[in-house]
Amino acid sequence: MRDKDIASKYENCLICPRKCGVNRVTGGRGVCGMGNLPLVNIYTLHYGEEPVISGTQGSGTVFFEGCSLKCIFCQNYDISHNETGKGTAYDAEGLARIYLELQEKRAHNINLVTAGHFIPTVVESIRIAREDGLTIPVAFNSGGYESVDSLKLLDGLIDIYMPDMKFFSSPLSQKLCRARDYYEVCCAALDEMYRQTGPAVIDSDGLMKKGMIVRHLMLPGQLFDTKKVLDYLCGRFGNDIYISLMNQYTPFDYKYPDMKLPDFLQRKLPQGHYAAAAEYLSILGQENAFIQEDASGEELLPDFKT
């Protein structure tokens, strides 16, 4: 994909399911808040992912700024909701150099975090990196709210998909990220991701080489919603995927007093609810699940440039 072909994808932007149609080349900003050049806040060896991703040497993680979903409880709020001014803009060749640098640092994989609103540039960057010697797996780490048409551009380039499945309830997704269609869009996106990767492949070192890990961050007071999400994932994909059940929700309203979180988000997740969900996964027959020990959302986050 040549530079002008990449740019054309941003001129009437339909990259994400919001389909804003803005011209990001001439300064327009849609829901994602970004222009046409990817902004990278930091890239680093990250050890806070699932064991099959972080391993012993870390995941070569690239944190992009902006987001098309903008959940009000986002654990990466500092860079997903705001253009911090601290991120660095990269074209496809610049991103490719980052991937190769992380490979030289012995990263187990390249982990692209919230890159969905930059897919045209990401596609070209992976192609360039592969031509220049990138051999480790590439993972696409997503909120799950992705356009199937855009995901198809990644076919053959992404080895591991790491989407969230955040909500089942349409009223809940509307309230928390203004996306009433989240569940339907996410189901279609996961089907496309799985079509591309197939069942999970784990090597002799316990590292994922291909496949899909679906993450679900439990929210306080939403155990019913969690069970509906798990029903879908286990019924649809069974043990061909991994499910990561996360308990590290942290109410960040003390950091952002103007956020006005709903009452149920102003407390931590009851551990009894997490234990009940973990047991439910077992009842559903899910063998490939990551169950967390006590963890704080802040402890798992890198130090972003803000």
pLDDT single digits (tens) 206-221: 999 999 999 999 999 9
> With 90 as the cut, is the pLDDT of residue 231 above it?
yes
Q: What is the maximum alpha-carbon separation in the chain?
A: 54
> Would you give the DSSP letter of residue 15?
S
Work out the number of other CB atoms within 10 angstroms of the CB of residue 220: 18
Residues 209 and 203 sit within 8 Å (Cβ to Cβ): yes
pLDDT of residue 251: 81
pLDDT at position 1 over 80: no
- The number of CA neighbours under 13 Å toward the Cβ of 61 is 26
What CA–CA distance (Å, rounded) separates 289 from 243?
A: 5
The yes-or-no verdict on residue 7 having pLDDT over 80 is no
Digit-coded pLDDT (tens) for 123-140: 999 999 999 999 999 999
Beta-carbon-side half-sphere exposure of residue 233 (alpha carbons within 13 Å): 36
Q: Which of 147, 184, 145, 142 is nearest to 161 (CA)?
A: 142
The pLDDT, as a whole number, for residue 301 is: 66
Supply the pTM of this predicted model: 0.94
pLDDT of residue 252: 65
Residue-level pLDDT at 84: 58
Whether residue 160 has pLDDT greater than 70: yes
pLDDT over threshold 90, residue 253: no
Q: Which of 20-24, 135-139, 301-305 has the lowest mean pLDDT?
A: 301-305
CATH number of 29-291: 3.20.20.70
Residue 254 has pLDDT above 50, yes or no: no
Tell me the range of 42-56, 84-98, 239-253 where mean pLDDT is highest: 42-56
Burial class (CB in 10 A: 0-12, 13-18, 19+), 274: buried
Is residue 165 within 8 A of residue 215, CB to CB? The reply is: yes
CA 218 to chain centre: 16
Under 8 Å between Cβ of 225 and 167: yes
What is the average per-residue pLDDT within 9-31? Answer: 95
Each domain of the chain, given as residue ranges in start order, spans 29-291
Q: Say what percent of the chain tops pLDDT 70.
A: 92
